[in-house]
């Protein structure tokens, strides 16, 4: 498993979304390592530099990979932060390994599993990415991943996100889509989540809308909710200062 590890102190594990890789956490790795944390950002299986040739990369497999990485790095407990697909993996991780989570951060995430329509659409997207590659995925996703102002005013962010998508391996992307189609429904597990939890949503996110964040917030007792303006699904890249401040406030309160 490829990963970045920067800084020393309490461990914070950053789990990226689809179809991205660990470089999406660049600003947060810099922030956390500079603020006395050990920031660890892996490439989930099939994405970035972590190769995977199977047909399905489940959220459970990815969560078990994270636990194995923690074992290798001799980390018993960490703050686990996931965005979107990384959020599904984080929810799966706390389901499987509750005692290993010191605190949880869920951004652009959703507790519910995929319904039949979502499963069908993900199967279709998996087939399509295998035949057509990532370029149509980038064209279709960019207007949803980024807020209007980001699209209009931050061409560097648009270019960075497009480039990240185009670097993704088509087989890895298809395997992740199939894994997301099969993800567990965590709706009834939320009340069992005890560690402090920060939930973050982009106000303009149409992939995982603020309603999904409200649902997580109402189910997880010890949680706080931040909604970021002028941001959509990739809120940590679109509004890094606001996102980072939310992280620091949350981590400062628990450490
Ligand atoms: C992501 O950013 O990880 C994906 O958009 C997640 C999803 O398709 O649900």
Closest CA to 79 of 102, 106, 62: 102
The alpha carbon torsion through 254, 36, 96, 120 (nearest 10 deg) reads 100
The pLDDT value given to residue 213: 98
3-class SS at 4?
A: strand
Two structure tokens written together for 234: 């990739």
The pLDDT value given to residue 109: 98
| pLDDT digit string, tens, across residues 77-99 | 999 999 999 999 999 999 999 99
Q: How far is the CA of 255 from the centre of ligand 1 (A)?
A: 30
Residues 198, 246 contacting (CB under 8 angstroms): yes
The pLDDT value given to residue 255: 80
State whether the beta carbon of 85 lies less than 6 angstroms from ligand 1. Answer: yes
Residues 164, 236 contacting (CB under 8 angstroms): no
State whether the beta carbon of 236 lies less than 6 angstroms from ligand 1. Answer: no
The conformation of residue 251, written as its DSSP 8-state character, comes to H
State whether the beta carbon of 231 lies less than 6 angstroms from ligand 1. Answer: no
For residue 234, the ligand 1 atom closest to its alpha carbon is: 2
The pLDDT value given to residue 38: 98
Two structure tokens written together for 142: 């960019």
Helix (H) or strand (E) holding 180: helix 170-181
| pLDDT digit string, tens, across residues 192-237 | 999 999 999 999 999 999 999 999 999 999 999 999 999 999 999 9
Q: What separation in angstroms does the CA of 188 have from each of 95, 175, 206?
A: 11, 26, 24
Closest CA to 60 of 45, 48, 70, 77: 45
> What is the pLDDT tens value at each position of the chain, 255 positions in all?
999 999 999 999 999 999 999 999 999 999 999 999 999 999 999 999 999 999 999 999 999 999 999 999 999 999 999 999 999 999 999 999 999 999 999 999 999 999 999 999 999 999 999 999 999 999 999 999 999 999 999 999 999 999 999 999 999 999 999 999 999 999 999 999 999 999 999 999 999 999 999 999 999 999 999 999 999 999 999 999 999 999 999 999 988
The pLDDT value given to residue 116: 98
State whether the beta carbon of 44 lies less than 6 angstroms from ligand 1. Answer: no
E-strand stretches of 140-233: 197-202, 223-228
Residue 64 CB coordination number (10 Å): 17
Query: CA 42, CA 38: separation in Å to the nearest integer?
Result: 13
For residue 17, the ligand 1 atom closest to its alpha carbon is: 3
State whether the beta carbon of 196 lies less than 6 angstroms from ligand 1. Answer: no
Which of 14, 16, 17 to probe ligand 1 with, by most ligand atoms within 8 A of CB? 17
């Amino acid at each position: 498993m490829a990963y970045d590890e920067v800084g020393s102190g309490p461990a914070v594990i950053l789990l990226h979304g689809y179809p991205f890789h660990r470089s999406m956490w660049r600003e947060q790795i810099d922030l956390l390592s500079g603020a006395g944390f050990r920031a660890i950002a892996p490439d989930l299986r099939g994405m970035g530099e972590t190769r995977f040739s199977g047909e399905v990369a489940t959220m459970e497999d990815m969560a078990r990979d994270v636990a194995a990485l923690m074992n290798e790095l001799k980390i018993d407990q960490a703050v686990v932060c996931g965005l979107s697909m990384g959020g599904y993996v984080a929810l799966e991780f706390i389901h499987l390994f509750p005692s290993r989570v010191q605190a949880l951060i869920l951004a652009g995430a959703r507790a519910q599993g995929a319904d039949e329509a979502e499963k069908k659409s993900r199967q279709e997207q998996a087939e399509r990415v295998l035949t057509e590659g990532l370029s149509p995925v980038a064209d279709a996703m960019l207007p949803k991943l980024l807020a209007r102002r980001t699209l209009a005013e931050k061409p560097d962010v648009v270019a960075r996100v497009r480039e990240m998508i185009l670097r993704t391996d088509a087989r890895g992307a298809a395997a992740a889509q199939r894994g997301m189609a099969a993800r567990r429904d965590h709706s009834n597990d939320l009340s069992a989540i005890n560690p402090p939890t920060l939930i973050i949503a982009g106000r303009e996110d149409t992939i995982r809308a603020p309603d999904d964040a409200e649902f997580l917030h109402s189910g997880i007792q010890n949680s706080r909710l931040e909604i970021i303006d002028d941001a959509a699904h990739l809120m940590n890249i679109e509004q890094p200062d606001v996102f980072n401040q939310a992280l620091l406030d949350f981590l400062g309160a628990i450490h």
